[in-house]
Amino acid sequence: MLAGCSRDATASSAAPPERATSGQHTVLLELFTSEGCSSCPPADRMVADLLEADDVDVTVVAFHVDYWNYLGWADRFSSAAWSDRQQRYASAFSTSRVYTPQVLVDGRDDRVGSRGKAALEAIRAAAERAPSAELSATAAREGRSVSVTVAATPVDPEDDAVVMVALVASDAHTDVPRGENAGRNLEHVAPALDLAEACRVRDAAAGCRATLEVPRRLADEVGDDVEVVAFVQSPTTMAVGNSLRVAL
């Protein structure tokens, strides 16, 4: 494994559902990162800057991998599932190389996560592609659970892509007392809390449903600051055809 880095306090009642629609192509940026990697904080800052840019339309999910936890600090947002997701990309790209920080643009373009100019170029190129599906979604939260309904109209009725939904923290930071980032307060952009496959995109015209959950260990710290990201992705090539964000 290679790397760029040296190696229930939630609302008890249901909130009204929030809705979002994306008929245009909104680019999905996935950041693979770790609180235990000294090379990763600049990538969070780069992603935050991209979200502020006026000329790009992008959604973000940051997947915190767990394979750097042995360096002296266990990333509270890390998950073996997120490391496995990064390995799936490596397999799709026919490589054994995984690293942090890594940015995936629409599941197609692999860039070093701290290189903002290169990432912006990839995002602009991705935005030129027509969306593979029109998306709309609603989401409502009750306690630690978030119910999501996504409707999709694919351009190709035989499209084998799947509708994925991710729950992310919208305001997250960590004081790191040990490891490579000891003494730093790290501000994170959209760390993933949960991820689920809702349905096949060709079956989503009438809407498909999924339930996401804030992990119990993070419930007090995350509080109400969560968002949903929905996206359409090929299960074989991992290419993403469209995405949208639902604020809660």
Structure confidence by residue, pLDDT tens digits, 65-87: 999 999 999 999 999 999 999 99
Lowest average pLDDT, out of 11-20, 33-42, 133-142, 233-242, goes to 11-20
Please report the beta strands in 9-57, taking only residues with DSSP state E, as ranges in sequence order: 18-22, 27-33
Q: What is the pLDDT of residue 5?
A: 57
Q: Are 159 and 15 in contact (CB under 8 A)?
A: no
Q: What is the pLDDT of residue 223?
A: 86
Give φ, ψ of 87 to 5 degrees. Answer: -65, -35
Global pTM value? 0.91
The pairing of strands 27-33 and 145-154 is unpaired
Q: Averaged over 33-43, what is the pLDDT?
A: 95
- With a cut of 90, say whether residue 51 has pLDDT above it: no
The pairing of strands 58-64 and 27-33 is parallel
Helix axes 116-127, 41-52, angle to 10 degrees: 40
Q: What is the pLDDT of residue 181?
A: 96
Q: How confident is the model at residue 21 (pLDDT cuts 50, 70, 90)?
A: low
Q: State CA 94 to chain mean position distance.
A: 22
Q: Which long-range contacts link 218-224 to residues 24+ away (Cβ below 8 Å)?
A: 218/76, 218/77, 218/169, 218/193, 219/8, 219/9, 219/10, 219/144, 220/8, 220/9, 221/76, 221/172, 222/169, 222/172, 222/193, 223/9, 223/10, 224/10, 224/11, 224/141, 224/248
Q: What is the pLDDT of residue 3?
A: 44
Spatial separation of the C-alpha atoms in residues 4 and 39, rounded to whole Å: 7
**Above pLDDT 90, what percent of the chain?**
78
Lowest average pLDDT, out of 7-21, 47-61, 199-213, goes to 7-21
Helices (H), strands (E): how many in the chain? 4, 14
Tens of pLDDT along 89-131? 999 999 999 999 999 999 999 998 888 888 889 999 999 999 9
Q: 18-247: which CATH architecture?
A: Sandwich (2.60)
Burial zone of 218 (CB within 10 Å; 0-12 exposed, 13-18 middle, 19+ buried): middle
- With a cut of 60, say whether residue 226 has pLDDT above it: yes
Q: Give the best-scoring range by mean pLDDT among 14-28, 110-124, 171-185.
A: 171-185
Question: How far, in Å, are 62, 186, 188, 219 from residue 175 at the CA level?
Answer: 18, 6, 11, 17
**Helix, strand or coil, per DSSP, at residue 116:** helix
Question: How far, in Å, are 70, 96, 114, 132, 183 from residue 35 at the CA level?
Answer: 11, 23, 14, 34, 12
Average pLDDT, the chain: 90
Q: How confident is the model at residue 4 (pLDDT cuts 50, 70, 90)?
A: low
Tens of pLDDT along 134-165? 999 999 999 999 999 999 999 999 999 999 99
